[in-house]
Amino acid sequence: MSTAAPAYTAGEEQVVAIEERQPAGLRQLVFDHPRILIGLLLLLVLVFVALLAPWISPHNPLAVNPDDARLSPGAGHVMGTDELGRDVLSRVMWGGRISLPVAFVAVGVGLTVGSLIGLTAGYRAGVTDLLLMRLIDAILAFPALILAIALVAALGPSLRNAMIAIGIVQIPVYARLTRAQVLQLKSLDFVTAARALGASPVRIIARHMLPNLLNPLIVQVSLSAAFAMLAEATLSFLGLSAPPPTPDWGFMINTGQSFLINGDWWMTVGPGAAICVAVFGFNWLGDALRDALDPRLRR
Amino acid sequence: MVEYITRRLGLMVPTAFLVTVAVFLLIHLTPGDPATVILAESYTPEAGAKIHQDLGLDKPLPQQYLLYVGRLFHGDLGRSVRNKLPVTQAIGERLSATLELGFAALIWSLLIAIPLGTIAALRRGRALDVVASGLTVAGISVPNFVLGILLILFFGLLLRVLPVGGFVALGESVPDNLSRLIMPAIALGTFGTASNMRFTRSSMIEVLNQDYIRTARAKGAGWWQVVNRHALKNALIPVVTIVGLQVGAILEGALVTETVFGWPGVGKLAVESIFSKDFPVVQGIVLLSALSFMFANLVVDLVYAWLDPRISYS
């Protein structure tokens, strides 16, 4: 991934046209766009496997068993065992319990802080806007993954710091997206009317702006969850996330890599597939949601 | 245009200032004393004091920052804690390998993306387009280290047609250099391939809907001629921007790809420096990546304005 400018940031600040219509129900939305269903199902499977891992994983993911080290996939161990004899499938199942929460927390941080900054900058305008946006520009001046890696390297490798770092690099996307929408909304008649009627800024934002911001934010959440998964996988592959022996997909690949030369492919392929499926699920869902919710693409 | 360039450069000043502050503060984010982190077990009060002195940590924070910026203006990024080499030299020695890898990755991504994106646009909604669109989502979903390992497994260990890693300088042996370049270039370039193809497709669709294309078609020009002579040049304008940003962010992907393949570039240096707590080198590389990213952004904006005269920047 030259996670070179993640694909979704490319068209940032695209203002989504606001149209008057009844919000479609979720069922209708999914019915009209079956791709959404595919993405949702894929992600639900991952979430359920991660949630139920303690009950459905065939082995203890931490149980070291030197006698069974580096067994190729077979009857007892569907995905084989790693260099310490731990069951790879069980570790892949448990791995979701690390990666998925990291992605959710990181996106939560980016979404909350970013859209608050965007709302404030867009609504207040003037000096506030200028200052806040220069701050955002400074974050954007760094390639996202480099910044995340540098932050974790400085703060010290840990799961918590990985979440913080990935969250921080997500802030600009949300800030710019929200700001652009707010600037456009501010000039519309219904907002002017609300202000003329004496509505407070908080009420205008919460009651009249947020509902119109939801669609682009929903799309962005899905796409940036994909980026967060990718970033977490990269950090843990580099050894900058959860410490061993935590079952973490990226780090499993890191250790498995040294055994590739012996032909022990299963240690890396299992967790690699898990990362790809998770990132693909979020990207696919985000793409499908954009097709469904972005009126510019509805032809 | 001149006014636009001036304004654009003016906006870069506060950003560059904040970037240097952020990079400068990086070392101070470390919980506790950086000297204890750098020295780890070999920490003694004397050695700690020496580190403080070398890195200027014994002075007040604002003074440290001013000294840091002052040195930056003289092209001095400090010295590596690990081997005492000037940071600029440490990075400079590794830069050519990274540039070679990045260039190859870019060529790979464009060779695939532009033809496929164009064909997908021409056959919009048909099977080929659907397959291509699915592939692009897949392409941006495979982390480059996973793709790199799959390539190593398949071409390096199963088919045994390519060496699994390492580096031979271009000057030593061209074939050996190129055979080691192929897999990392594909691993690094594929993410870009997917997003470039997406951009080519959507922008080509937009151009193909224009009146002048219809006119050209009505005059009897075939699709190939229309695409080649009329559409492609205009369709590639947005692609230029995304490619420019990819070039600016080349270090980002190189970091992991170089680690997987043992490619001795700046990315690998960054990872090594992170683990040996070589803060000056890490800071230097982060600063370099931010500056090149900012510069790429600027160039892209200017090229964009130049390529598409309809865009006005007043």
In chain B, how many domains are there? 1
Looking at the domain assignment, is residue B2 inside a domain?
no
CA distance B137 to B119: 17
Q: Which of B149, B250, B251 sits opposite A272 (nearest CB)?
A: B149
Q: Are B218 and B137 in contact (CB under 8 A)?
A: no
The two tokens of residue B251 are 């270090």
CB distance from A52 to chain B under 8 Å?
no
- Chain A hits for B194, Cβ within 8 Å: 7
Give the count of Cβ contacts less than 8 A between chain A and B: 177
The more confidently predicted of residues B249 and A3 is B249
B17, B21, B137, best to mutate vs chain A, most A CBs in 10 Å: B137
CB distance from A165 to chain B under 8 Å?
no
Mean pLDDT of chain B: 88
Looking at the domain assignment, is residue B38 inside a domain?
no
Looking at the domain assignment, is residue B273 inside a domain?
yes
**Would you call B242 and A261 a contact, using CB atoms and an 8 Å cutoff?**
no
Q: What's chain A look like in SS3?
A: CCCCCCHHHCCCCCCCCCCCCCCCCHHHHHHHCHHHHHHHHHHHHHHHHHHHHHHHCCCCCCCCCHHHCCCCCCCCCCCCECCCCCEHHHHHHHHHHHHHHHHHHHHHHHHHHHHHHHHHHHHHCHHHHHHHHHHHHHHHCCCHHHHHHHHHHHHCCCHHHHHHHHHHHHHHHHHHHHHHHHHHHHCCHHHHHHHHCCCCHHHHHHHHHHHHHHHHHHHHHHHHHHHHHHHHHHHHHCCCCCCCCCCCHHHHHHHHHCCHHHCCCHHHHHHHHHHHHHHHHHHHHHHHHHHHHCHHHCC
Tell me the per-residue pLDDT of A91-115, one tens digit each, with 9 for 90 and over: 999 999 999 999 999 999 999 999 9
**Would you call B19 and A230 a contact, using CB atoms and an 8 Å cutoff?**
no
- Chain A hits for B137, Cβ within 8 Å: 280, 283-284, 287
* Residue B253 scores a pLDDT above 50: yes
- Chain B hits for A253, Cβ within 8 Å: 145-146, 149
Domains and CATH numbers, chain A: 27-64+79-280 (1.10.3720.10)
Min Cα–Cα distance to chain B from A279, Å: 5
CA distance A170 to A109: 8
Q: Which of A257, A263, A283 sits opposite B137 (nearest CB)?
A: A283
Q: Cβ contacts of residue A179 below 8 Å, gap of 6+?
A: A13, A117, A118, A119, A121, A122, A129, A133
- Chain B hits for A234, Cβ within 8 Å: 143, 145, 256
Looking at the domain assignment, is residue B43 inside a domain?
no
Domain that holds residue B278: 87-307
Q: For position B266, which CATH number holds?
A: 1.10.3720.10
Q: b/e per residue, B248-269, with b = 16+ CB within 10 A?
A: bbbbbbbbbbbbbbebbbbbbb
**Would you call A2 and B153 a contact, using CB atoms and an 8 Å cutoff?**
no
**Would you call B250 and A272 a contact, using CB atoms and an 8 Å cutoff?**
no
CB distance from A260 to chain B under 8 Å?
yes
Tell me the per-residue pLDDT of B260-290, one tens digit each, with 9 for 90 and over: 999 999 999 999 999 888 889 999 999 999 9
SS3 B79: strand
B215 C-beta neighbours (distance < 10 Å), count:
12
**Would you call B19 and A275 a contact, using CB atoms and an 8 Å cutoff?**
no
Looking at the domain assignment, is residue B73 inside a domain?
no
B193 C-beta neighbours (distance < 10 Å), count:
26
CA distance B113 to A146: 25
Mean pLDDT, range B199-218, rounded to an integer? 89
CB distance from A131 to chain B under 8 Å?
no
The full length of chain B comes to 314
- Chain B hits for A239, Cβ within 8 Å: 275
Burial of A20 (0-12, 13-18, 19+ CB in 10 A): exposed
Looking at the domain assignment, is residue B138 inside a domain?
yes
Closest-CA residue of A relative to B38 is: A154
Percentage of chain B modeled with pLDDT above 70: 98
Tell me the per-residue pLDDT of B135-191, one tens digit each, with 9 for 90 and over: 888 888 999 999 999 999 999 988 989 998 889 888 899 999 999 999 999 999 998
CB distance from A42 to chain B under 8 Å?
no
Min Cα–Cα distance to chain A from B84, Å: 20
CA distance A177 to A226: 17
- Chain B hits for A138, Cβ within 8 Å: 14-15, 18-19, 22
Q: Tell me, what's the pLDDT at A7?
A: 40
B17, B146, B199, B209, best to mutate vs chain A, most A CBs in 10 Å: B146
The DSSP output letter for B88 is: H
Q: Tell me, what's the pLDDT at A1?
A: 39
The two tokens of residue A198 are 């004496």
State the ipTM, two decimals. Answer: 0.89
Per-residue pLDDT of chain A (299 residues; tens, 9 = 90+): 344 444 444 344 555 555 545 556 777 777 888 889 999 999 999 999 999 999 999 999 988 888 888 888 988 888 889 889 899 999 999 999 999 999 999 999 999 999 999 999 999 888 999 999 999 999 999 999 999 999 999 998 999 999 999 999 999 999 999 999 899 888 888 888 998 898 888 888 888 888 888 888 999 999 999 999 999 999 999 999 888 888 999 999 999 998 988 888 999 999 999 999 999 999 999 988 888 887 655 43
Beta pairing partners, B86: B79
- Chain A hits for B130, Cβ within 8 Å: none
The two tokens of residue A104 are 């959710």
Looking at the domain assignment, is residue B292 inside a domain?
yes
Between the alpha carbon of residue A100 and those of residues A51, A167, A238, B60, B208, the distances in Å are 10, 14, 18, 42, 41
Q: Tell me, what's the pLDDT at A8?
A: 41
Q: Tell me, what's the pLDDT at B265?
A: 95
Determine the residue type at A34.
P
SS3 B101: helix
Looking at the domain assignment, is residue B293 inside a domain?
yes
- Chain B hits for A149, Cβ within 8 Å: 255, 270, 274
CB distance from A104 to chain B under 8 Å?
no
CA distance B141 to A246: 24
Q: What is the pTM of this model?
A: 0.88
Between the alpha carbon of residue B194 and those of residues A143, A236, A286, the distances in Å are 18, 24, 16
Q: Which of A2, A145, A239 sits opposite B105 (nearest CB)?
A: A2
- Measured over the CA atoms of residue B271, residue B275, residue B276 and residue B278, the dihedral's sign is positive
How many Å from the N-terminal Cα to the C-terminal Cα in chain B? 8
The DSSP output letter for B41 is: G
* Residue B216 scores a pLDDT above 60: yes
SS3 B86: strand
CA distance A115 to A217: 9
Question: Which residue in the block uniquely carries the two structure tokens 């646009």?
Answer: B121
Closest-CA residue of B relative to A260 is: B153
A193 C-beta neighbours (distance < 10 Å), count:
11
- Chain B hits for A134, Cβ within 8 Å: 14-15, 18
Q: Cβ contacts of residue A101 below 8 Å, gap of 6+?
A: none
**Would you call B141 and A153 a contact, using CB atoms and an 8 Å cutoff?**
no
Between the alpha carbon of residue B102 and those of residues A280, B111, B267, the distances in Å are 25, 14, 11
**Would you call B274 and A153 a contact, using CB atoms and an 8 Å cutoff?**
yes
- Chain B hits for A226, Cβ within 8 Å: 140-141
Q: Which of A282, A276, A269 is nearest to A89 (CA)?
A: A269
Min Cα–Cα distance to chain B from A193, Å: 31
